[in-house]
Chain A
Amino acid sequence: MLASIVLGLVAGTIYGLLAVGIVLIYKGSRVLNFAQGEIGTFSLYVTSILSTQMHAPYLVAAAGAVITAGLIGFLFELLVVRRMGGASRLTVTIATVGLLTLLISLEFMRFGPAPQPVPSPVEGVGPVIAGVYISPSQELSVVIILLLGAALTIFLRYTDFGLAVMATAQDATAVRLMGIPLSRVTAFTWTTGCAVAAVAALLISPTIGIGVAPNFMGLLFVSALAAALVGGLTSLPGAFVGGLVIGVIEGLSFQAGSVVTAVPGFKEIAIFAVILAVLLFRPQGLLGKEA
């Protein structure tokens, strides 16, 4: 029980990170980026190519992934989202589904359905917490996410540009009047939001340990989406807390699933149930404001 909770919290930090990326983009341009997860997958392929084919050290390969993801976000915002200016949110959201399809089909075309190897940052056996082995890569992931979270918080709270980013969701005109171009804010949210997806993908990959296959991040993206929803879709801290909540629920449901073997996929049922419950009882999320 306690073990599931600890493992759930560890995974939850990663969901939280991915959810923060989703919310960042949503706050900046009111669009749910359904390609978020697949951008993470795609950048893992970059890591895989860099390390297995070009024998680059892990840090270089990982940096390649993050840069790729950020670049995809930046370009998509520049070439698609920005040009759709007056279009409805529905059409912009469909465009992100287009990006998702493009990435998945490119992956299938180049590599097929078989998983490709992705290197691990660290090897070895980690400490035992509450009766669970926490692997060094999981430890590292928690540390990196906490550092990233702190950096992002400081940036958004204490720099003018960060404050402008936060204000955009509430009043885009006011931000423009403050002399900060809105286009710079949205470029930032898309770049950062997508780069964060690559970090999340890199951090989860050693734990799953099968390498990378098309739609590798699909299910994780749904968990992160649920986390963002739990947090209220517009709250960054809410998204992170939502990630932890989803992680723990998943951990517990995984344990329950190992008991009730007649029903496979307990985890997926749990996430679906969480989304259903949020929509039914608290559509504004735990930390979101009443719409």
Chain B
Amino acid sequence: MLTPRRTNVLLVAFLAAVLPPLTYRLMPAWFPSSFWLLLGYAAVFAAAALSLNLLMGYAGQISLGHAALLGIGAFTSGLITSKLGQSMAVGIPAAALAGGLVALLVGLPALRLKGLYLAIITLSLGYMMVNSIFRMSIFAGGSAGVEMPRRIAGDLLLNNHADYLAMSLVVLLGIWLVDSNVTRSKLGRAFAAIREDEAVAQAFGINVSRYKLMAFVLSGAIAGLAGALYGHLSFSVSADTFSFEKISLPLVIMVVVGGLGSRVGVAVAAFFFMLFPQLPVLNNLHGWDLVIGAFLLMYTVARHPGGFTEMIAEARDRRRKRALAKAAQPGQDEDIEEKGAIPKLPSLPRPSGLAERPQVAGANLLEVEDVRVAFGGLRAVDGASLEVPRGQIVGLIGPNGAGKSTLFNAISGLVRPDSGVVRFLGQEIQDLAPHARAERGIARTFQNIGLAKSLTVRQNLLLAQHIVAGYNPVQALGFTRKTARVEAELLERADQALAALDFERFAHEPLRNLSHGQQRIVEIGCALVTAPELIMLDEPSAGMSPGAAENLALRLRDLRDELGRTVLLIEHNVPLVLDVCDYIYVLNYGSVLAHGSTAMIARQPEVIGAYFGEEVVA
């Protein structure tokens, strides 16, 4: 099927393949061979920069050893084309494979952990490759390096720089397409959530280590490919080609200055930094280009972390906002704060990608038995037990520091209990990762909004459906028919939710631009969009006006009565709790002080005492 997108892609591919060879042959005097060689280097660096951008810009992980990944690709393709006499059609894909494989081996230990460990190990990898592996005679031909013939087949070589550029541009276009498939599928959203906040990503049901690894492997494969292109462009490579300062550092400059996460910006920056120092006017730059690049890099991260792309976008945004402010009716956006109107929560059909959940006998959806969580010497949760029957609203109250949120974390999986059992739908889940618990039907909100604040409201609603996006990463990279169908479905559900919440006007607004109360509503919408069995709300009324809190009670009852959900609620607003809950647990010092039906709890004086932090006299 020839969609407009496909037509465009084919057109660009055709131009990339035809224009350079044709121009060179028609006007060799104006566009000599050296011109095409220079453009070739720019194209290769653009590919390498896109690879680093995928890792750093999308997933927020730093690599300081991208030169090593390029080198692995170059030497692999060099071996295959020179020693084995094979075509680049074998060598270049093999280079991508090798780059991805090295990234997998290095990323596996480093990306399980939170923090900057990837930067450390890739830095070390870079030095090890340049000083050891790339100098080994078996692999890399010793210090002399390897030949990199541009072999098409047999003795047919692509020695003309313009022809080679055409090939490089087609490969670059392929990388561009894969990259754009990343950003328009669940992969890109998952990367963005991880970059924003790993805990938030986990709560969305994203397997953080796996997705970080995926980003690095993908980045490694593209880097390997770029390395092979680079090697064949130069006809030979040696270890010194792939030094830290010649490749790894300039790539960081290109990605950051171009704009972390911006495909266009990064590609433009790569072409700019490769071509600008070569302008005849600037004949004797004497290395000033790198100095300027370094200054730009520091200026950008300190002032505009989104790079030049963001500076442009910000200017556009300001214009848009002014226009919006003019158009908006007064008071429209302060509904929740002023009038206390909370929109009706969306009732959405069950998503098709959702796995069947066991229908268990017994009335309890969730059972917590004797759970203990200690942080050092502090016993935050100290033998707490509770039961949440299906179809009820259960309240969890207690003074600050009683361990309510920690208990929530133990149930949703953000902390692993030291001992005790958490049973959901009849199965023990205390050892499962947060994303696995989300898949089983536990959704939650956070005291301080567990959403990706720099993403738009709509993106958050899409992100919330991560666990029901039923296509695999390979299907995502190819953006297959199935991926397209699922994505369309997710988008439809997101838009239904937006419509139900009456938040359509915020669809493309970054979440942080919304008021606290509005963010809270979006968060509840996100929790509902995957049709969870249990919804855990951590202080939903915090930051809401009294009127809104009253309305919240209405909506919570809707959750139970109309949507048939089960709710576990942490709340400081006692009237609200007494109003909506069927059953209440009172937590103090990490264990259950009292529990009972709402009417019963309301009568107990020690509960009120614990709540307001007074000593309980037994």
Contact = CB atoms under 8 A, between A and B. Distances in A.
A218 B130 CA distance: 12
B549 to A, nearest CB: 30
Contact of A109 (B109, B117, B121, B290): B290
Interface in A119-168: none
B298 A109 contact: no
Contacts of B301: 84, 87, 91-92, 94-95, 98
Contact of A83 (B136, B287, B302): B302
B574 interface: no
B127 A219 contact: yes
Interface in B217-261: 244-245, 249, 252-253, 256
A15 interface: no
Nearest to B290: A105
* Interface residue SS majority, chain B: helix
Given A265-B132, A268-B132, A225 B290 contact: no
Interface in B97-125: 106, 109-110, 112-113, 116-117, 119-121, 123-125
A230 to B, nearest CB: 12
Interface string B29-55: 000000000000000000000000000
A130 B138 CA distance: 37
B287 A109 contact: yes
Contact of A89 (B116, B244, B287, B298): B116
Interface stretch (A6-14, A53-61, A184-192, A276-284): A276-284
B291 interface: yes
B298 A271 contact: no
Contacts of B109: 276, 279-280
Given A95-B302, A97-B64, A262 B136 contact: yes
Interface string B127-141: 110011101111000
Given A90-B62, A102-B294, A222 B288 contact: no
Interface string A51-90: 0000000000000000000000000000010011001111
Nearest to B305: A91
* Interface residue SS majority, chain A: helix
B249 A100 contact: yes
Contact of A34 (B64, B113, B125, B286): B64
B305 A279 contact: no
A104 interface: yes
B60 interface: yes
Contacts of B286: 109
Contact of B135 (A87, A265, A280): A265
Contact of B124 (A104, A109, A272): A272
A276 B293 CA distance: 32
B295 interface: yes
Interface residues of A, number: 48
A283 B109 CA distance: 10
A32 B297 contact: no
Contacts of A80: 298, 302
B120 A94 contact: no
A280 B302 CA distance: 33
Contact of B291 (A93, A99, A100, A102): A102
A265 B287 CA distance: 30
Given A94-B256, A279-B117, A105 B302 contact: no
Contact of B113 (A108, A225, A275, A279): A279
Nearest to B299: A98
B468 to A, nearest CB: 29
A268 B127 contact: yes
Interface centre among A104, A222, A263 (most CB of B within 10 A): A222
B117 A102 contact: no
Listed from nearest, the 5 A-B pairs whose CB atoms lie closest are A265-B132, A105-B290, A102-B294, A109-B287, A265-B131
14 contacts: A80-B298, A87-B305, A90-B60, A97-B249, A98-B294, A98-B298, A101-B294, A104-B290, A105-B287, A264-B131, A264-B135, A268-B131, A275-B124, A279-B117
